Amino acid sequence: MARKEDFNRKVPLPSGLTTTAIQKAIDYIEKGLADLVEIYLEQANVFSALVGIYGAKAQGPENNRRQGRAS
């Protein structure tokens, strides 16, 4: 669980990004992957991919900072 005291408030964040949003994303990822830690022990690269997927999902579809693939 991410705690407010874990964040350095002096670090500037991009426009529209808040520490609350970061905390929620971390909590979402931790909850979603808690049962999949065994995969890390066997296939760290697969687990890394899952973390990336959960991270993208945690940002939500309304995230306007995320870019689409280049054509």
**The pLDDT of residue 71:** 44
Q: How far apart are CA 55 and CA 71, in angstroms?
A: 23
What tens-digit pLDDT sequence spans the chain (71 residues)? 788 888 888 899 998 888 888 888 889 888 888 888 888 888 989 999 999 999 888 877 655 455 555 54
Q: What is the rounded distance in angstroms from the CA atom of residue 21 to the CA atom of residue 25? A: 6
Largest CA-CA distance found in the chain, in angstroms, rounded:
41
Q: How far is CA 61 from CA 2, 40, 66, in A?
A: 22, 27, 9
Neighbouring CB atoms inside 10 A of 11's CB total 7
Global pTM exceeds 0.75: no
Residue extents of the structural domains in the chain: 34-60
What phi and psi, each to the nearest 5 degrees, are found at residue 64? -90, -5
